[in-house]
């Protein structure tokens, strides 16, 4: 194994997935997926793919023109973001690829990327794979950014500050004020703001999503990442996209042409169909997810004496601090083996000083919520 790869943590989702497979009947509160699939319009649009034999050949590195136009229209209508001569859209094979593209385009080995903790483990892994240094800045007790701590972490080697809102793994939704302040800090310090918005549609109650790219003057230093995986039930179709400053376009094309050549064209047609179906499909399913979230939150009250359950106004997660004399992975293993319920260990997200778990409610059906959270609650009590 190379030195570069030896510094990269093991991917925790497959590890927990294998543990689940070894113990049939386990209810998974692990991987962040939704319980629905693509809209019918996505599957219908795939018929157009087969009508043209040229679709079986390579297509543009940055994505097919009809999808780029549809995504630009979506950004204008939903995110108040204009695609113009100052920026460019690039379709990717999922949001993770978009992030890797960004890191390789803006950073040299030894450069620093600021991650807000708890961080998304694949972001930290990508930074390490690029031979860069993740600089970890902890959020506050409500998982909100601390601007003073972020500013203090910037050095001459800093190339970007990464925000995820709505957040994976915590479910926190960053305020417009915080995101504007971070974006302004990036402009002042000459670093990029990488804004991961994969969970943009999953906000609950009075929470609201804000896209930093909508800020006037943000285009030259803002890289925005999006995904269809969650909102449209597209996880295995691998369709994401990124809005980048114009000056990064050549670098991104070099990276993507080498790794991918072009995003899967049949998936791009499906994405066109999904967008044709409009946001009503997503809104209706997010309402169902929100109802599930409410059931989960209510059920978690039964363990609030042994867990700290921070507010989570978005995404598909709760991040629990557990008062247990166990390491997170030890707790996960015992929950699966002894109580047939799975979660993700919190130390995968950088929370190494305590016992913590990320639980996901997106894949749960209403009828499995009570059983799944019931197993988690009884398991925690038995083990603590």
Residue pLDDT, tens place only, 328-354: 899 999 999 999 999 999 999 998 888
51-95, pLDDT tens digit by residue? 989 989 999 999 999 999 999 999 999 999 999 999 999 999 999
Highest mean pLDDT, choosing among 54-63, 242-251, 342-351, 355-364: 242-251
Pairwise CA distance, residues 109 & 263, whole Å: 27
Rounded CA separation 117/347 (Å): 11
Give the model's confidence band at 8: pLDDT under 50 very low, under 70 low, under 90 confident, else very high.
Answer: confident
Residue 35 has pLDDT above 90, yes or no: no
- Identify the residue with better confidence: 356 or 184: 184
Dmax (CA) for the chain in angstroms is 62
Question: Which CATH number applies to 3-37+280-383: 3.90.79.10, 3.10.400.10, 1.20.1740.10, 3.90.1150.10?
Answer: 3.90.1150.10
Residue 362 pLDDT grade (very low, low, confident, very high; cuts 50, 70, 90): confident
In the prediction, which pLDDT does 9 show? 78
Interval 122-158: pLDDT, tens: 999 999 999 999 999 999 999 999 999 999 999 999 9
Domain(s) of CATH 3.40.640.10: residues in the chain: 40-276
Q: Using CA atoms of 61, 63, 65, 69 in order, give the dihedral in degrees to the nearest 10.
A: -140
CA-nearest of 11, 9, 10, 30 to 20 is 30
Which structure tokens are listed for 77? 């209508």
Quote the percentage of the chain above a pLDDT of 90. 70
Average pLDDT, the chain: 92
Cβ–Cβ < 8 Å for 198, 189: no
Residue 278 pLDDT exceeds 80: no
Q: Residue range 205-226: average pLDDT?
A: 96
* 40-276 has CATH 3.40.640.10 classification: yes
The more confident residue out of 320 and 8 is 320
Q: Answer yes or no: are the C-beta atoms of 188 and 219 closer than 8 Å.
A: no
pLDDT at 269: 95
Is residue 298 a contact partner of residue 318, using CB atoms and an 8 Å limit?
Answer: no
Q: State the pLDDT at residue 6.
A: 80
Report the candidate in 327, 323, 326, 321 with the shortest Cα–Cα distance to residue 359: 321
CATH 3.90.1150.10 in the chain, residues? 3-37+280-383
The average pLDDT across 264-271 equals 95
């Amino acid at each position: 194994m190379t030195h570069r790869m030896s510094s990269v943590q093991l991917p925790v989702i497959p590890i927990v997935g294998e543990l689940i497979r070894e113990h049939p009947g386990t209810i998974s509160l692990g991987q962040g997926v939704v319980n629905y699939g693509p809209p019918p319009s996505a599957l219908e649009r795939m018929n157009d793919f087969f009508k043209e034999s040229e679709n079986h050949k390579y297509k543009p590195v940055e994505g097919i023109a009809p999808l780029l136009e549809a995504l630009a229209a979506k950004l204008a209508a939903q995110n108040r973001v204009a695609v113009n001569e100052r920026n460019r859209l690039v379709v990717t094979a999922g949001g993770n690829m978009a992030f890797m593209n960004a890191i390789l385009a803006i950073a040299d080995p030894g450069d620093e990327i600021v991650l807000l903790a708890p961080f998304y483990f694949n972001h930290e892994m990508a930074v390490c794979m690029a031979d860069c240094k993740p600089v970890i800045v902890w959020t506050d007790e409500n998982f909100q950014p601390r601007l003073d701590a972020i500013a203090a972490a910037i050095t001459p080697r800093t190339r970007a500050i990464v925000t995820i809102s709505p957040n994976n793994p915590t479910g926190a939704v960053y305020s417009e004020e915080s995101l504007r302040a971070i974006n302004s800090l990036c402009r002042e310090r000459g670093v990029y703001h990488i804004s991961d918005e994969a969970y943009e549609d999953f906000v609950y109650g009075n929470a609201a999503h804000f896209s930093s790219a909508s800020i006037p003057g943000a285009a030259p230093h803002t890289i925005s990442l999006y995904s269809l995986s969650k909102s449209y039930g597209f996880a295995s179709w691998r369709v994401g996209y990124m809005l980048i400053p114009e000056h990064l376009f050549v670098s991104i094309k070099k990276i993507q042409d080498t790794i991918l050549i072009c995003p899967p064209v049949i998936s791009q047609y499906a994405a066109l169909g999904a967008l044709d179906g409009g946001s009503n499909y997503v809104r209706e399913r997010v309402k169902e997810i929100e109802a599930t979230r409410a059931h989960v939150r209510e059920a978690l009250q039964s363990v609030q004496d042994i867990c700290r359950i921070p507010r989570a106004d978005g995404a598909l997660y709760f991040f629990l601090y557990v008062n247990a004399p166990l390491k997170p992975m030890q707790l996960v293993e015992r929950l699966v083996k002894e109580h047939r319920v799975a979660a993700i260990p919190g130390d995968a997200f950088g929370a190494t000083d305590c016992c913590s778990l990320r639980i996901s409610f997106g894949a749960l059906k209403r009828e499995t919520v009570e059983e799944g959270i019931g197993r988690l609650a009884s398991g925690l009590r038995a083990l603590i």
